[in-house]
Structure 1
């Protein structure tokens, strides 16, 4: 989710509002990892969800009230920030390692404004693949 933001940083050495939605989505995922699924070593055994679905309309969760202390809230924020920082660093590393594909995709986008799936696959074919690895989520 942070590749667009990382590409901005890598190419222009600055960040804009262009990838704001991606950053918001990544933050939501990271917050869910910590608060809903206990994916932080220090908070592992506790679900700290802020919202619960309502009985009549589960699509619209209602605030459940504050369920954590200030210290825990700070710990959650630090864990979320650490996850986002690691993801951004990893995205930047992947793009750095595959800069030619990034530039090829950008050039093609300047020509056409959109890329079809087959075109993107062709550009991505020579990418250096990183082996999949399980990561332990460590607290900040």
Structure 2
């Protein structure tokens, strides 16, 4: 699989999937064979020092938007030397899905790196973990 490095609105870069197996629309990537989606979003805010509160709020939004979402393991720490969080979960909207999201915190911005994949392709989340590890500021 091919990867390209993408700018994240001036706060850093991250590798993203490319190649014929991936469809791309802006900051949304989709692999039809895996049913996997990756979305990158930017939120302007100032959560430096309040990352745990933001993570709690983020997970509440997941529950609001997907009432069947079950919160899974999460971790607040660092990725590539930067304050970050990882949160996981699952839901079933007719297809059992697994979620894994990374949140990268900068002084005035939070980058959301979100991944969704059918449970039968859960091994594909290794790609999400790898891509998150390529975040650079």
TM-score (norm 1): 0.25
Higher strand content, 1 or 2: 2
TM-score (norm 2): 0.25
* Greater radius of gyration (CA): 1
Higher helix content, 1 or 2: 1
